Each structure stands twice: as structure tokens, then as C-alpha cells.
Chain A
């Protein structure tokens, strides 16, 4: 299962693309150019990219309120994502969903979600559909450490286990649910331990190590495709930004943040690429520039796109 250089470079590019996308959203949000709430994925890029690099066309992902990274890792257009965040008609949801609800069912992206923990049973359902349709597809659900305290987590894992569904549950343990640190919201250190209660494999990996995430999810996806049922993977990581843009982060220390910034998954993977001799610094710099250009043009696309016409207000409530 050795990855080719091209595949690894593409994974690097995806992580950078997420980082640049998020940094730009933070910037335009602070300038008051976009409404609503935004929850950024900076620092967690290795999880989305490591997992989604194992997926193919017939597969599904379900995401969270922090969904930009998952969308980009799944291959969504940054133009349409940015336009959605700006509330424009060319956005993925015609501007009706915004940051928290970006989705593209055709792409196998069942949506970011405003309801914490809502994605787990949805992913179980998509996995069930794939099994029913016998198309070899799997479903992946991303969710947070804090979401693992919701009833949906427990019910979805149990159901998927007894039905042997082709689903992978990916816990992004960034150690906080808004202001609640993991030690305050649950009495376990590893969310993966909960797998035992449902009779499925559970493992904990370093969520800032792209290859570790890739390999663990590759195994889990294989298991799922082989009809062996669900896996719970916990990725230990950290969000560099506040819970939402504008969060004063009174609940965590600057020192803690700086420690984690040193463990940046992108820098770490870049170092690995250099070390393995797969790329030179100039090559990495070039990717960086390309990514910056791509996001600049996404911003341009979003700004140019018109706002939706008022007649859109009552459209799409039902199928025609």
C-alpha cells in the first residue's frame, strides 16, 4: 500500500489548501465580510486529509460544524465553498446554508452540520444504503470528542455494530468542546475505549501525523469494504483557533496553544517529505504559492457571485 510520490504531494497540497482557505476565512470574517458563525479547522488538517485520501466516488462523509476541512479533503471546489460562506448564489447551497451547512450529496458529502453529533446516525444510514445497494461504498463520520457524549454516538455505534455496516467513525479529539476540556467532559482519556462497549475495534492515533491517520483509516476502510463492520478511530489533535471566530479562549492557555503549534501537522509532513527526499524545499514552496493563488481566486469568485434573488426564499423547501 505504499503511496506514490504524486499521492503524497497531493495530500500535502490538500492540507495546505485547507490551511490557506481557513486563514482567508478568518481574515474576511474579521473584516465583517461574512455573516453568521464560522468554526475553523486550522491545526486539524491531517485528520480530514488522511482519512479522505482513502475514499472513492461511491463513498460518503458526514461532517461537523467545523466542516471546511472535510469538504476540501473530499475534493469539494474551494470556489463554491467560499461562495457559500459569503451567502452567494454560486455557493454549494445557493447561499442558503452558509459555513455550517456546506454540502454536496453528489460528491458524497452529506454536509457540515449545525447539530453536534447529528452526523453519526446519518453516516450509519449512508453506510446501510451502500450495503443495501451492494456498491462496495463506505461512509465516514467525523465528530468531536465532546460529540461522543451525545446519545447519537452511542446509538449509531451500536446499530452499526450489530448491522455490520461499512462505516468508519472518526473522532477528532481536539481536547475541547467549546470551553470544556476533555478532562472536564468525560472520565476517559481515550474516546477509542468506547468501542469496546459496542464490540468494534477502536484505536487512538496521533491526529497530527498524516501518515498515521492515513494508515489507520486505510485499514478501517478495508475492513468496512470487506463486510467486517465499523471501526472507531480517535485522532488526537488540536484546534489552533478559538471554538468560533471571535472566541476569546479564556478557557485555555497561550502556552498550551504554542506547544501545539509546534506540532503543526503540515510542517511535520513537509519535514517528512524533505527527509524522504520526495520533494525539495523549492517544490514545496511552489505548491504553497499555487495554493495561495487558488484561494485568492476562490475569494474573487465568491465576491463576484451575486447574492441570491429574493424569489429563492421559498424555493427548494420540497422536491418539485
Chain B
């Protein structure tokens, strides 16, 4: 095992995939000379040159659209959209083109685009640079949605995403970039659509994504001190979703809390809750609880932003309401 940050792990996956496959290339704003707005692509232009690590103008429509066209024509583009919020300016290219092409063309196209982008609050970036919009993308058949929470997952899932023949949106969290953790040596992939039990437990199932996984683990630690064992599951990919791992866990614990940083209303937690209500109703000993952000844009001021982001205490409170 190596010790690496989340950011370094993503950089390593990009480097290895580019070495392995000459059709993989990166494009985006400031990804080359500057090394990426969050430093994730640093050094790649030195190894692969400006032909494969392309600094683009501020033209998200062209970044996304050209990546989709190039993918259909045989390349494996890895475009970066600096913040997931900016996806709003190139949604047609993603939703109506990338997501639909294979189906509309009668199964005769491949669109292996891996769109890397960044979500999340916590750095005072305010309402247009802090959103968690994954639910938008999970509502779109034809697209895979990946949200890694640890360096090891980030590396393996990104390699798998780049090798996947479908459009994938790979959503990183800006607060996680500096997080260090063990990463296996050498190349490896983690299959898309496979959840991971980050902490086993028998009393309650907590499903948590991205940054919230870490809050859920901290909450589980505190709860363990009080004799409550939470099983913490990171779905890792939201689409396709590994519902079996979640249902098996709920069958064991009888209780479910779903946690995400996105606004609770219309959030992906509703989907997980609905699946368990439909397919695992008999396992449940208590109602399902969702923990998410309030129905409001992300505020700038530090105390408001802190109140916005779901924290450990809210997770603990939700668990306790079920017991």
C-alpha cells in the first residue's frame, strides 16, 4: 500500500490510463500548464504533451460537445468541467447527446467519455461553486454516475470509468482533495456498480456518499461508544446502483439512514429510500430517515455554510430516532 491524497490518486489514475491507452486524452480549462484549478492534473502535460493534455478556451459547450464527438469517433476523452455547477452551461451536450447516442443509434455507437468534475460545499465558495448535483445525472439513462469518497476508491473507480465504453460523470469533492489514505500499488480497477461496506455493524444501516461517508464514519465511531453498531455503506457509484448490498444490509439491521450533502428535496437519498421501501419493506423495523442539506442554495457566510452542510450530529440524531 502507498499513502496518497485523493488528488494524487486521481492524478495517478489519469497518468496510468494515458500510458496504457494512446486514445485517452484530457481537455479542459487550465488543465495543462496550470495543472488544474485544484492541482489534480499537475505534471501530466510534461509527460504527455499539449496534444493529449489540452488547455481549452472557456467554452464548456465545445469542451463537452467535442468530447462526445471524439468519443463516438474512437477516442477516450477525459474532459474536466472545473466545478459541477458549470455543467449547467453544457447540459445539452451531456444529456441529449452523450446520454442518448447509443440508444438512439440502435446500439451502434460507443461514447466512452469520462467527465471529471467537482462538487461540494465547505470552502466558502458560495451558491454557484458549491452544489451537489448528482441527482440530476442519475435521472438520465445512458450515463453512469460515480462519486468516490477515498483515495483508493478514486483511483480504481477512475481507471474503471475511463475503460468503460459509456459516458461516465466522475464527481470529486473539493474538500476531499487533501485527504490521505492507503492506495494499492500498481494498476487496478474497481467495478462500477459495486458498493463498499466501509464499516460493518448490525444495528442500523447508514448509506453515505462522497464527503458524507467520512461524517457517517465519525458518527458511527461515536455511536459505537454508546453501544450502537452502524453499518456504513458507500455506494461509490449511484448509477448503476448496487442495491443488493444495501438491501442485504437492511435485512440484517432493519434500519436505514441515507446521508448526502445535496439538498434533501429531490436528492438521490429519495431513490435509495424508495428502493428499500419497495423491495425491502418487510426488513424494516422503523421508518427510513434521510439526512441532507436544507432546501436552500449554499450560503457564503461561514456559520451559515456550516449549518447548511449535514454534520455528524445530524447523522447521530437520525440514527437515534430509529432506535
Query: A interface vs B, CB < 8 Å?
Result: 34-37, 87-88, 93-98, 100-101, 113-117, 146-147, 149-152, 177-180, 184-186, 250-251, 307-308, 310, 312-314, 317
* Complex: chain B residue closest to A93, CB-CB: B300
**What are 8 A-B residue pairs whose CB atoms fall within 8 Å in the complex?**
A36-B124, A37-B125, A98-B301, A100-B125, A185-B58, A251-B33, A313-B294, A313-B299
The answer to whether B34 touches A250, judged by C-beta atoms less than 8 angstroms apart, is: yes
Q: Is the CB of A313 within 8 A of B302?
A: no
Q: Using a CB-CB cutoff of 8 Å, which residues 86-130 of chain B contact chain A?
A: 86, 88-89, 123-129
In contact, B34 and A179 (Cβ under 8 angstroms): yes
**CB within 8 Å of A: which of B29-46?**
29-30, 33-34, 37
With A95-B304, A178-B34, A314-B296 given, can you name 6 additional A-B contacts, CB distance below 8 Å? A37-B124, A87-B124, A96-B300, A98-B300, A180-B30, A317-B297
What distance in Å separates the Cβ of A318 from its nearest Cβ neighbour in chain B?
10
Pick the contact of A179: B30, B86, B127 (CB < 8 A): B30
Contact of A308 among B30, B37, B88, B304 (CB under 8 A): B304
Query: Is B304 in contact with A312, judged by CB distance below 8 angstroms?
Result: yes
Q: Of all chain B residues, which has the CB nearest A151?
A: B61
| A97 and B300 contact, Cβ closer than 8 Å, known pairs A178-B34, A178-B37 | yes
Counting chain A CB atoms within 10 Å of each CB, which of B128, B294, B308 scores highest? B128
B57 interface hit (Cβ, 8 Å): yes
Q: How far is the CA of A95 from the CA of B124 in the complex (A)?
A: 11
Q: Quick one: closest A residue to B88, CB to CB? A: A115
Taking CB atoms, residues of chain A closer than 8 Å to B123 are 35-36
Are the C-beta atoms of A115 and B86 separated by less than 8 Å? yes
Interchain CB contact under 8 A, A114 and B300:
no
- Residues from chain A with a CB closer than 8 A to the CB of B300 are 35-36, 87, 93, 95-98, 101
| Most-contacted residue by chain A among B60, B123, B296, B301 (CB, 10 A) | B301
With both chains docked as a complex, state the minimum distance between the C-beta of A122 and any C-beta of chain B, in angstroms: 13
> A114-B129, A115-B128 in contact; A308/B303 too (CB < 8 A)?
yes
In the complex, the answer to whether B61 meets A307 with C-beta atoms within 8 Å is: no
With most chain B CB atoms within 10 A of its CB, the pick from A94, A113, A313 is A313
Tell whether B55 is near chain A: CB-to-CB under 8 Å: yes
Q: Which residues of A contact B37 (CB under 8 A)?
A: 178
Query: Which residues of chain A come closer than 8 Å to B127, judged between CB atoms?
Result: 96-97, 101, 114
- Bound-state CA distance A149–B300 (Å) is 28
- The residue that A151 contacts in the complex, of B34, B59, B126, B128, with Cβ under 8 A, is B59
- Asked whether A251 and B301 contact (CB < 8 A) given A37-B125, A98-B126, A146-B58, the answer is no
Chain B residues near A314 (CB-CB < 8 A) = 294-296
B30 touches A149 (CB 8 A): no
Contacts A97-B126, A178-B29; A317 near B295 (Cβ below 8 A): yes
Q: How far is the CB of B311 from chain A (nearest CB, A)?
A: 13
CB of B301 within 8 A of CB of A101, answer no
Q: Are the CB atoms of A87 and B301 closer together than 8 Å?
A: yes
- The answer to whether the Cβ of B17 comes within 8 Å of any Cβ in the partner chain is no
Interface residues on chain B, number (Cβ under 8 Å): 34
Q: Produce 1/0 per residue, B287-323, CB < 8 A to A.
A: 0000000111101111110011000000000000000
The 5 closest A-B pairs by CB, nearest first: A35-B124, A114-B128, A36-B124, A98-B300, A87-B301
Q: How far is the CA of A250 from the CA of B30 in the complex (A)?
A: 12
Q: How far is the CB of B43 from chain A (nearest CB, A)?
A: 12
Neighbouring B residues of A147 by C-beta, 8 Å: 58
B85 within 8 Å of A by Cβ? Answer: yes
Do A88 and B301 touch (CB < 8 A)? yes
Docked Cα-Cα span, A152 to B127, in Å, equals: 20
Is A310 a contact of B124 with CB atoms below 8 Å?
Answer: no
| B contact residues around A186 at 8 Å (CB) | 57
Q: How distant is the Cα of A129 from the Cα of B8 in the complex, in angstroms?
A: 50
Tell me the minimal C-beta distance from A300 to chain B in angstroms: 19
Q: For the complex, give the distance between the alpha carbons of A24 and B297 in Å.
A: 29
A313 and B296 form a contact (CB under 8 A) = yes
A86 nearest CB across to chain B (Å): 8
Contact assessment for B303 and A149 in the assembled complex, using a CB-CB cutoff below 8 Å: no
Question: Are A117 and B308 in touch, CB under 8 angstroms?
Answer: no
Given contacts A149-B57, A151-B59, A313-B307, contact A307 B302 (CB under 8 A): yes
**Chain A residues closer than 8 Å to B301, beta-carbon distance:** 87-88, 94-96, 98, 307-308
Question: Residue on B with the closest CB to A315?
Answer: B296
| CB-contact partner of A150 in B33, B89, B124, B302, under 8 A | B89
Q: Is the CB of B85 within 8 A of A114?
A: yes
A114 touches B126 (CB 8 A): yes
Smallest beta-carbon distance B106→chain A, Å:
30
Q: Which residues of A contact B297 (CB under 8 A)?
A: 96, 317
